[in-house]
Structure 1
Amino acid sequence: MNYAEWIREQHARSVAAEQIAEAALDGPALCAGDSESLAPLLRGVSQLLAVPVADVQIVGSARFGFSLRDGAAFDPAFSDLDLAIVNAGLYQRCSAPTAASADAARFPERDFPADERIAVRKAFDALSLSVADRFAYVSVAVFPDQAALVRAQAGRIRAYLGVAGPAPAARPAGAAPAGAEETPFQHIVDAGLPQYLLPIAASTPGNASPWLADRAAFERAFGGSSLRRVRLAALGRALADLAQVVQVHCCLVGGSFVDVSNAVPNDLDIVVFYSARADVRFEPGRALQRLTRKFLLEHIDMRFVPCDAEPWLMVKLTSYFTQLYQSRRPGTDVREHGLVLLLPGTGTGQ
């Protein structure tokens, strides 16, 4: 079965997204393997969370063969096994994220009581390791009833088709953007921005630090205090200035700013990977030197790695800054969190 074609055919026939989602959940899981080989894992999840195995359903790219988020094909090295559990009791055990709708997905690794989270995360690490040759990680979302799961899947199907859904309910002033709690990057930040999700031996670039984020996701995740929002606004201005001089490819962000427990980070440490622009007449090195001093006035500690220099230089500088950002400076706590690889693009304007 080709779910991509089937979904578009159903949409062309004016079938509602909820009906498409409901039928898809009853259909085959294309990339999960045979039910017998996956049965031990599903039993392990049901025992860990004390729910019937019948409550555990396969969703995401393991079901569809591609991601509803961006259309990327399922890849066992990078694609998670996404499980949805429909169980009202388990849903109540998870605390509701701030500003989340009444039946939004909840995640045991994030939303369980604090004294249970570490044990649950370790258990999921072990479960993920048992299928590491088939999936990047095993993740679980919990819903109070089947209707809530269907609505969530319908929303993803609409997004995939580029179709507007029902208008969302009004959100409280200052609430997080809709869906922010469920984005993969937000989920990683909520888990403490770890360096690795799996044991090191089972890790890949796709499930370890540095974690990919666009500007909007980065600002949502790290704009939790007034000072942080000031720093983010300064970063936006700095990147706009840079765009007049060089082409920015991506940025590596580390230090205290990516520690969300720190509401008042002193500065924002960032390395910009750039190439010279042929249409700029002045020498970029001199311009970047001047801009660096300007940015420091607003607590943006920016360093630079030229992507159009010798490859060894880019490797050397990248390795140096990665180690620097992970190092403990005198008088500071050990840094156990990961780094963020920030992709260029438009932010939220904070």
Structure 2
Amino acid sequence: MGEQRMTKPLQVNPIKLSAPMGATLAFLGIDRCMPLMHGGQGCTSFSKVFFTRHFSEPIAIQTTAVTDVTAILDGGGYNIVESIKNITKKVTPDLIGLFTTGLTETKGDDIRTIASEVDFPVVHVNTPDYEGGFESGWGEATAAIIDQLVAPVGKTDTDKIIILPHVSLQAIEVEKIKQFIELFGFEVHALPDLSTSLDGHLGEKQAALSSGGTPVATIRELANAGTVISIGASMQPGAVALLKKNPGMNHRHFRHLCGLTATDELAEFLLKLSGKKEPHPSIIRWRKRLQDAMLDSHFSLGQTRFCLTGEPDQVGGLAAALTEAGGRVEEVVLTV
């Protein structure tokens, strides 16, 4: 038989992904972080293969390799300690992101206590497979990172803005949102930040840790920002966690940033915050391009019926953008 080759012109991803995979991606948005999945080897292998294929990049992730026997007789706490020892023998991450799976959550492993007994920077989060999904895993991991790493402060820097993007925003989208806000004169940081880690850049060599993303030192100082912008309902818990670190911080929530209306709302908010009279000329130019694209596509999209499927925050944005262009979103299939 001859060799079979894939004939599809694209890669098709599953509609629904698990919460541990969302947590994995969140930790990959932190510089020099090692995600550590507390569960079976198969769970970690699937995540590693999936993200490697999707991003076409080497993915750094480790597993505690819990078996069914270990889970029942030992509980898996020993596996966590030994895994961290093995990781730190080979590399020196700035942070280890520890998160659970369905197997270890069913057993009831107390990862909070185990993490507190480890002499190494560890952020822990509970992400059972049987609750939530990809989006909630990302959001919960982000909230845990903020809660366990960010130092409380009592002052704010009004020129500093933190954005909390939902999981479905691509690396290039996060990069463009940061650049958009910077044009209003602000210092911008994203958490997690895939725009500098899984953006398809060619590194000097294959790294054993995540390369790029938000540095741990920067995360510890996020609470002195004047404003936090959360994008997507799944990121509101992260914003709440950040506001607890500094109640004087300003918070602005956007359900999404897709389409003309949402972008105008962001620009209006930033104009008021910066005191500027009008946006940067490049923003005005891009707005006119968007208007022209919407007008041109209206003849194709107008009154066209759509069925959308995906993560809730993503689908909300896509539905709004299609509706603005004249489309009719009649059916929606969400992952949770």
TM range (shorter): under 0.3
Greater relative CO, 1 or 2 (CA 8 Å, sep 6+): 2
Could you state the TM-score of these two structures normalised by the residue count of structure 1? 0.25
Could you state the TM-score of these two structures normalised by the residue count of structure 2? 0.25
